[in-house]
Structure 1
Amino acid sequence: MPLAVFTKNSEPRLGKVFDAGLIDLSVAAPSLPQTVVAFLEGGAEARAVYNAITPESGPLIPLSDVVLQAPVPRPEKYLAIGMNYADHGDEARKLGIDVPQYQLWFNKQVSCINDPFGDVVLPKVSEKLDYEVELAIVIGKTCRSVSESDAASVVGGYMVANDVSARDWQLRTGTMTLGKSFDTHGPIGPWLTLPDEIENPHDLNLRTLVNGELRQNGNTRDLIHSLWQQISYLSQVMTLKPGDILATGTPSGVGVAMDPPQFLQVGDVVRVEIDGLGHLENRVVADR
């Protein structure tokens, strides 16, 4: 069952999520680490304690009684790949953007990370706010030079991500970091789904709805570079560490590519969801 970070009139805590609610791990298993990154670093020993927790291990707290928070609020790295679905690449070509031959990676600065149901700010300096539903990988162990065949073994879990993008800032330069890194523009969650709960991460439906209107509807089977290829490629360059986040690409249907373009406005509610992983829902609010 998924691992959540939550608050209930106190500091953030870890919880194990069940259908009827979650169990506070600080009560049911006080020996466990108290952050997701520390839990991942705990390896098999921490996982064995976690697996032993059942709905009978402690009082179940209804999800409606807690506030879910970003599972990994301060990763060392938050990396995202561009144009990794063929249909999204077709959208890019229509906008005059070349589709790269190799994997195209950029940083989302970690200060952009937002809670799964937190507000997303429309910056005063941007008029082209957009959404991107993505499957996010969370790295589970320190690794470098990982082969594709071994890549699955370094995954700590999966999340839903919304790669919120200020397109005017993104497209004005050759690098995308600034347009991808505004404060609040990195909602993640709603929890960390552990790898053995996902039978095939290359066959997950993912969707975006804006005010209830379906905008994106894709499947991870259509990734150009597979999850394992992405991990292997990045790890040739840098050491990946527990808690590092990799956003693996978005399918077609983004607002900038619509005719006419449809950018997010104050008051819009964006829901991004992936089957088996849950959903994020964020309201767009004005900058202060």
Structure 2
Amino acid sequence: MRVATLRTSDGCRAARIDGDRAILLQFADVRDLLERPDWLTQAKAGGPDVALETVAFAPLVPRPDKFFCVGFNYLAHIAELKMEPPAYPSLFAKFARALIGARDPIAMPHASEQVAWEVELGVVIGRSVRAADRATARAAIAGYTIVNDVSVRDWQMRTRQALQGKTWERTTPLGPVLVTPDEVDDAVDLRIQTLIDGAIVQDSTTADMQFSPADLISYISTFVTLDPGDIISTGSPSGVGLSRTPPRWLRSGETLTTRIAGIGELVNRCVDEDAWAPATSKAP
């Protein structure tokens, strides 16, 4: 199953995606849907439908209670940075104002000249868990989505803490859909890519992760309860701009495409932050 959060004339609505149609559900967004214990049944309900090509995607979960990100989780990425694999997951957070939809522009901040791309598999929590073993953690996954952890590197590198470079407002595309684990074989080996103006800059597979989604949920839930609609962004593969010679940064006017096989793609144009506006629906 595939579900999304769409912008409508009446505000955001959760929707089930069936082929080229979006069926609107009676929930404010995907988090609202996931908070129902029988959400899979609820998501099968009928409702008004619109052509998928006419919709505007909001961030998959517009206001997650918690959004964890993982650094240094792909072995080839760790190698390109000339680091040793970490013993434990490296964690930081994002806040809701950083999130944008699958076709929204990325707001390029005036305060930085070093804005970077990082394609990541997003894990969406479907039930509350605390101190979960790996089996319980795996069962808590509602599905998978796509994140681009757009990073403001010059601010990130000011201190040893990454947060100040990771949660700039209107910079992090999230979506377009949640895909349930059965549709993507639990995301164990999915091709994952970033393109800039059509040129591939990252090309890897989720099989290169050191810590699996279940590992991450088990680890994080040791110290905090994870709830429906929480997101874990599982780290980025090799090919980041920082590792290039010379380093490569995003520029206004470029289009960032983020793909994960079996899930879909994000397409986001980089614009001056003063020119930012969300994508709008063409549906009646």
TM-score w.r.t. the length of structure 1 is 0.91
For residue 169 of structure 2, what is the aligned residue in structure 1? Answer: 183
Gaps of 5+ in 2: 275-284
**After superposition, what is the alpha-carbon deviation per residue over 1:241-278, rounded to whole angstroms, capped at 9, x for unaligned?**
11111000111001111111110001010000101111
For residue 48 of structure 1, what is the aligned residue in structure 2? Answer: 41
Cα offset for 1:58?
5.1
Paired AA for residue 266 in structure 1 = S
Q: Percent identity?
A: 35
Aligned 8 A contact 2:6 2:12 in 1: yes
Paired AA for residue 100 in structure 1 = P
Say whether residues 1:248 and 2:234 are aligned partners.
yes
Say whether residues 1:38 and 2:27 are aligned partners.
no
Q: Secondary structure at the match of 1:158?
A: strand
Aligned 8 A contact 1:92 1:99 in 2: no
Say whether residues 1:103 and 2:89 are aligned partners.
yes
Aligned 8 A contact 1:20 1:60 in 2: no
**After superposition, what is the alpha-carbon deviation per residue over 1:213-232, rounded to whole angstroms, capped at 9, x for unaligned?**
00001111110111111111
Moved more, 185-194 or 270-279: 185-194
For residue 66 of structure 2, what is the aligned residue in structure 1? Answer: 77
C-alpha distance in 1, partners of 2:254/2:73? 26
For residue 91 of structure 1, what is the aligned residue in structure 2? Answer: 80
**After superposition, what is the alpha-carbon deviation per residue over 1:88-125, rounded to whole angstroms, capped at 9, x for unaligned?**
101222xxx66533211111222211111111111111
RMSD: 1.5
Paired AA for residue 79 in structure 2 = D
For residue 144 of structure 1, what is the aligned residue in structure 2? Answer: 130
TM-score w.r.t. the length of structure 2 is 0.92
**After superposition, what is the alpha-carbon deviation per residue over 1:2-22, rounded to whole angstroms, capped at 9, x for unaligned?**
111112433111211111211
Paired AA for residue 100 in structure 2 = N
Return the structure number with greater helix share: 1
Give the alignment partner of residue 282 of structure 1, picking from 239, 258, 268.
268
**After superposition, what is the alpha-carbon deviation per residue over 1:2-54, rounded to whole angstroms, capped at 9, x for unaligned?**
1111124331112111112111224xxxxxx333222112122x322323x4x
Q: Secondary structure at the match of 1:126?
A: coil
* 1:1-288 map, 5 Å: 1-26=1-26, 33-44=27-38, 46-51=39-44, 53=45, 57=46, 60-93=49-82, 99-288=85-274
**After superposition, what is the alpha-carbon deviation per residue over 1:141-180, rounded to whole angstroms, capped at 9, x for unaligned?**
1110000122111112211000000111111111000100
C-alpha distance in 2, partners of 1:43/1:23? 20
Residue-pair matches, total: 274
**After superposition, what is the alpha-carbon deviation per residue over 1:173-201, rounded to whole angstroms, capped at 9, x for unaligned?**
11000100101122100011123322231
Cα offset for 1:71?
1.5
Runs of 4 or more above 4 Å deviation:
none
Aligned 8 A contact 2:108 2:171 in 1: no
For residue 282 of structure 2, what is the aligned residue in structure 1? Answer: none
Q: Secondary structure at the match of 2:252?
A: coil
Paired AA for residue 50 in structure 1 = A
For residue 30 of structure 1, what is the aligned residue in structure 2? Answer: none
Gaps of 5+ in 1: 27-32
Residues 267 and 234 of structure 1: CA distance in aligned 2, closer, same or farther (over 3 Å): same
For residue 280 of structure 2, what is the aligned residue in structure 1? Answer: none
For residue 29 of structure 1, what is the aligned residue in structure 2? Answer: none
